Amino acid sequence: MMGSSPKDMTRPADLAKHGKGTGPVRLQRPLYLDLLPPCNNACPAGENIQAWLALAQAGQYERAWRELTRNNPLPAVHGRVCYHPCESQCNRKQVDSPVSIHAVERFLGDLALQEGWAFQPEQAPSGRRVLVVGAGPSGLSAAYHLAMLGHRVEIREAGPVAGGMMHFGIPAYRLPRQELELEIRRIQNLGVKITLNHKVQDVLAEKEGGGFDAVFVAVGAHLSKRVEIPARDAGKILDAVAFLRQASAGEAPTLGRRVAIYGGGNTAMDAARTAKRLGAEEALIIYRRDREHMPAHSFEADEAMEEGVKINWLRSIKEIDQTRIQVEVMKINEDGYPEPTGRFETLEADALILALGQDTDSGFLKAVADIEFKRDGTVIVDANMMTGHAGIFAGGDMVPSERTVTVAVGHGKKAARHIDAYLRGVEYAKGPKHDLVGFDKLHLWYLADAQQRLQRSLDVDKRAYGFDEVVQGLGEAEAVFEAKRCFSCGNCFECDGCYGSCPAQAIVKLGPGNRYRYDYSRCTGCAVCFEQCPCHAIEMIPEPEV
């Protein structure tokens, strides 16, 4: 990025605060520091995004991948299915558009699979054994981190394949199965054993019988929520989770020409798009709120509508009679909640798919003493992710939280750290958190226009004929360009702005990768270096008292 800064980027408030005048006694001095980038702060998996973006823009792809996978072992998966909250917080969006972090992550994840990069354990074998219940994103993440820490891990999974809802709940057009399976296999290659078709029903018996020192329970939310809808003579009614599971296994039921989907979340969008791919001429989503209040992410709704899915906003199902569905028109009140209007419409559908959310099957834990539950069946855990029963931890959809793949992976990492500490008889202490750096702190004197590189998509007319991946990803040049759009908020990237601007020659370069230091015997405290630092890696502090 190059070019001069627009005038509106001047920082008069900063100049007034820190001043330019110097006198016989220095009143302030500059200090190099590191701050917390908003992207890192927003990542549920705790990735050091800024660090691996810097390595990627330098062409050090394997190092970037290894930095990324220190926190998240599934980058090829996340680059496709994460809803990238990091990008919604990216400071760059205040200028043009956020860095496409997930696209660069996908590039690195796919490259690692092509090149066969493998994980290497960080610790020597500990001799301790951990049982993980569930091979979904949280269980796989915990197993990976525990194995890297030297522990022997076995995952016991009730289903016929590993992956959990990543495999059964996310259609292949969003997450191709090859990439998912290869990233799971790489975790297995660390020594993680996955036992399939094994439903754990007595946790304590499995723990004792297998000689495990701790257990992490990470069963996904596979149970569809039910709703009572009056039905004179109900036609074909399916639940979305079971439908997507059957479609993934190639065993989808016959739906008919017209399919209605009840719900407004991402699962509803996936069910509608899957129904179209399975031959439905019309897929109609019925949702009781408007688009502004839907739980589905906006791009999910956009892609669904591109493919011909219709959405009936502000409609609530009141009665079903064979293929006739009576809906009531709703309105949104001042508090953002839907209210009935007393006006009704009739829709026609050969099948109805219910996509009203999922519950976790946690009933098998109720026989374990001291484990407590919320009313919705989720498990109560402490700050260490441990349940009320010593040695049994839980995370992912099992505990009260947002239900996404990335949150689940973050839970797995957090639980692994606390399990490791538990096994070693110590307390895990998280390191101090740097202050967050907002857009208002940046001095973007070097800014030039650099629009986000968009990922190509499969043509709409080709999507209807199968489950080929819709989003195509970025090539190497595009991924590097995207990484270079990062402002490196709060952390020095050695641009030499401070070094070149210092009138007193008080800044000493320490060599590539080592940044700079101040020679305070020369420094006058003029703050020119502070004003020139684009990423706010320099702060002016009062001169220490002698």
Name which of 67, 117, 169, 113 is nearest 483 in CA terms: 67
Residue 74, classed as helix, strand or coil, is coil
- Are residues 43 and 406 in contact, defined by beta-carbon separation less than 8 angstroms? yes
Axis-axis angle for helices 101-115, 49-57 (nearest 10): 70
Measured in whole angstroms, how far is the alpha carbon of residue 305 from the centre of its chain? 24
Element housing 114 (H / E): helix 101-115
Name which of 155, 194, 219, 142 is nearest 417 in CA terms: 142
- SS3 assignment for 228-276: CCCEEEECEEEEHHHHHHHHHCCCCCCCCCEEEEECCCHHHHHHHHHHH
Give me 168's structure tokens. 């059964």
Give residue 231's pLDDT. Answer: 64
pLDDT, tens only, 430-444 = 888 999 999 999 999
- Rg of the chain over all Cα atoms, to the nearest angstrom: 27
Give residue 446's pLDDT. Answer: 75
Name which of 263, 244, 351 is nearest 301 in CA terms: 263
Side chain identity at residue 542, one-letter code: P
Kind of pairing between the strands at 315-322 and 507-509:
unpaired
Inter-CA distances, 477 with 104, 453, 471, 481, Å:
11, 10, 17, 6
Backbone phi, psi, residue 39, to 5°: -65, -50
Residue numbers of the chain with a pLDDT score lower than 50:
1-21
Query: In the Cβ-directed half-sphere of 46, how many Cα atoms lie within 13 Å?
Result: 16
Residue 121, classed as helix, strand or coil, is coil
Give the Cβ contact number of residue 403 at 10 Å: 17
Give me 38's structure tokens. 């908003």
Give me 358's structure tokens. 């999922």
CATH 3.50.50.60 residue ranges of the chain are 129-222+360-424, 224-358
Distance (Å, whole) CA 390 – CA 412: 18
Give me 453's structure tokens. 């590189």
pLDDT, tens only, 69-124 = 999 999 999 999 999 999 999 999 999 999 999 999 999 999 999 999 999 998 99
Measured in whole angstroms, how far is the alpha carbon of residue 426 from the centre of its chain? 29
- Are residues 64 and 108 in contact, defined by beta-carbon separation less than 8 angstroms? yes
Distance (Å, whole) CA 51 – CA 525: 30
* pTM (2 d.p.): 0.89
Say whether domain 224-358 belongs to CATH 3.65.10.10: no
Side chain identity at residue 110, one-letter code: D
Give me 75's structure tokens. 């980058």
Distance (Å, whole) CA 153 – CA 145: 10
Name which of 121, 209, 231, 155 is nearest 412 in CA terms: 155
Inter-CA distances, 17 with 190, 308, 513, 530, 541, Å:
54, 56, 31, 12, 11
Side chain identity at residue 322, one-letter code: Q
Give residue 221's pLDDT. Answer: 75
Kind of pairing between the strands at 152-156 and 193-195:
parallel
Query: In the Cβ-directed half-sphere of 291, how many Cα atoms lie within 13 Å?
Result: 9
Give residue 22's pLDDT. Answer: 56
- Are residues 343 and 329 in contact, defined by beta-carbon separation less than 8 angstroms? yes
Name which of 105, 244, 265, 249 is nearest 179 in CA terms: 105
Kind of pairing between the strands at 351-354 and 236-239:
parallel
Beta bridge partners of 394: 217
- Are residues 165 and 221 in contact, defined by beta-carbon separation less than 8 angstroms? yes
- Are residues 347 and 254 in contact, defined by beta-carbon separation less than 8 angstroms? no
Inter-CA distances, 176 with 2, 242, 370, Å:
38, 19, 41
**What does CATH list as the number for 7-34+492-542?**
3.30.70.3270
Give the Cβ contact number of residue 4 at 10 Å: 10
129-222+360-424: CATH superfamily: FAD/NAD(P)-binding domain (3.50.50.60)
Element housing 302 (H / E): helix 298-306
CATH 3.30.70.3270 residue ranges of the chain are 7-34+492-542
